[in-house]
Structure 1
């Protein structure tokens, strides 16, 4: 009986792009046993969890065993595979949009999300948003594609976590020179960090009350809306902040694959 596909499955064109970026089996280099699991089915299982938000053990039975799918997800997270695939696709999509492979400008913002009772590290209370959980701090380029993401406790101030995010951006995207931010990122200390990273940090001020589309700021807000379409990101279900970051990269990878093949 032929397996009926799910909307989250990769298309043939998408798999042709992502399959060469996945780690090779050890048997291909003459070491270890031959891989018997279907890697496309494993990848589809990971996308299914990200898109639907189900727990790993609730994967439908027509996928490989949940422990196998999670095992590859966790092993590749430790090796940095998910960020590697994401960054490769971002450069490819920028080229398709007639931009340079590396970004020269970006926008920074954060999103506070509730956590669940699974426990884990990196949790706190955001008094401004009245949210008990974690923050996802993202830096995006002018197309809205994520350059770097940093998940941390929600009680950490934006200006504090932004210093770590900007510092990390210097090696993720060394060509970056301009960053726009909202009024929560004002402060001399953050400006000094930006200058130390050879970045020009510009705070976009609100000039009138009520809802107004602010220049440059709307780009990062749109990216956060893209992430919201993936139910695994509706809350933070992960024990470890780095796993939360991987699901953000996975959500953006799905979006970029669709655009690269459209």
Structure 2
């Protein structure tokens, strides 16, 4: 982590208010967590240059439970949008899902018959810049429309200005009407032209596909290695935090 990136990450991190004074360097702890994210190694295989793996995992697990990763991610997204001349609350976004294979690690999972994937499914809502707004992880057997309902029911306050969300044909049907009745924004289905063959670049749809490609650069996210769905979501927010803080720095 560069000095510029650390200047953005250090102020929002929670301070230790009880117990004995902290002896570990939070910068080294974050470097270790980012090392696990990028390389996909096990916690016990962290190099000796980092703090002991139990201390690193303690901070990762604690910040996953109390929502620190998500709050840090939302703060950096607002700052990056303002730096690019945008309002901190987006008015439009794009929604899509990604099925990821599971491993031998025990945990809930399902089978996506459409893509022949046994694992979990990531439902992502991003803004027009490709920055993550909400991540919701389910088993792979959950349909895209059902996963979108779960995601839209848990939108944070940063999505209060949303007016339009672009989706693909898998979200068409009753979901469009349900969204119009329950929320202030509408779902716009972007369909592929019937007369075209092969790859076609659809307008607005490439934004969320590019975000899914960014996540694939982290080996920890190439498959689902986690027992808990909450941990899967935490890794997604950490990966996007890493991308945004590098842009800010």
TM-score by length of 1: 0.92
Q: 1:132 aligns with which of 89, 102, 118?
A: 118
Is 1:156 aligned with 2:142? yes
1:193 and 1:114 map into 2 onto residues whose CA distance is 30
Please report how far the alpha carbon of residue 13 of structure 1 lies from its aligned counterpart in structure 2 after TM superposition. Answer: 0.7
Q: 1:179 aligns with which of 133, 154, 165?
A: 165
2:20 and 2:49 map into 1 onto residues whose CA distance is 24
Matches within 5 A, 1:46-195: 46-121=33-108, 123-169=109-155, 171-195=157-181
What is the aligned-residue RMSD (CA, Å)? Answer: 1.1
Q: Identify the structure with bigger relative contact order (alpha carbons < 8 Å, sequence gap 6+).
A: 2
1:255 and 1:201 map into 2 onto residues whose CA distance is 28
Please report how far the alpha carbon of residue 194 of structure 1 lies from its aligned counterpart in structure 2 after TM superposition. Answer: 4.2
Tell me the secondary structure at the aligned position of residue 20 of structure 1: coil
Residue-by-residue CA offset, 1:137-184 (whole Å, 9 max, x unaligned)? 000000000000001100000000101112222644111110000000
Tell me the secondary structure at the aligned position of residue 233 of structure 2: helix
2:159 and 2:6 map into 1 onto residues whose CA distance is 26
Tell me the secondary structure at the aligned position of residue 151 of structure 1: strand
Q: Partner of 2:4 in structure 1?
A: 13
Residues 89 and 158 in structure 2, CA contact (< 8 A), matched pair in contact too: no
Matches within 5 A, 1:247-262: 247-261=235-249
2:62 and 2:156 map into 1 onto residues whose CA distance is 26
Tell me the secondary structure at the aligned position of residue 133 of structure 2: strand
Q: Partner of 1:203 in structure 2?
A: 189
Tell me the secondary structure at the aligned position of residue 139 of structure 1: strand
Please report how far the alpha carbon of residue 233 of structure 1 lies from its aligned counterpart in structure 2 after TM superposition. Answer: 0.3
Please report how far the alpha carbon of residue 118 of structure 1 lies from its aligned counterpart in structure 2 after TM superposition. Answer: 1.0
Is 1:25 aligned with 2:12? no
Please report how far the alpha carbon of residue 43 of structure 1 lies from its aligned counterpart in structure 2 after TM superposition. Answer: 0.7
Please report how far the alpha carbon of residue 130 of structure 1 lies from its aligned counterpart in structure 2 after TM superposition. Answer: 0.3
Please report how far the alpha carbon of residue 198 of structure 1 lies from its aligned counterpart in structure 2 after TM superposition. Answer: 1.3
1:251 and 1:188 map into 2 onto residues whose CA distance is 33
Tell me the secondary structure at the aligned position of residue 63 of structure 1: coil
Tell me the secondary structure at the aligned position of residue 248 of structure 1: helix
Deviates more, 1:32-41 or 1:189-198: 189-198
What runs of 5+ residues in structure 1 fail to find an aligned partner?
1-9
Please report how far the alpha carbon of residue 189 of structure 1 lies from its aligned counterpart in structure 2 after TM superposition. Answer: 3.8
Residue-by-residue CA offset, 1:97-122 (whole Å, 9 max, x unaligned)? 1000001000000000011111113x
2:26 and 2:201 map into 1 onto residues whose CA distance is 43
Please report how far the alpha carbon of residue 191 of structure 1 lies from its aligned counterpart in structure 2 after TM superposition. Answer: 2.6
1:167 and 1:193 map into 2 onto residues whose CA distance is 10
1:189 and 1:260 map into 2 onto residues whose CA distance is 36
Alignment length (residue pairs): 247
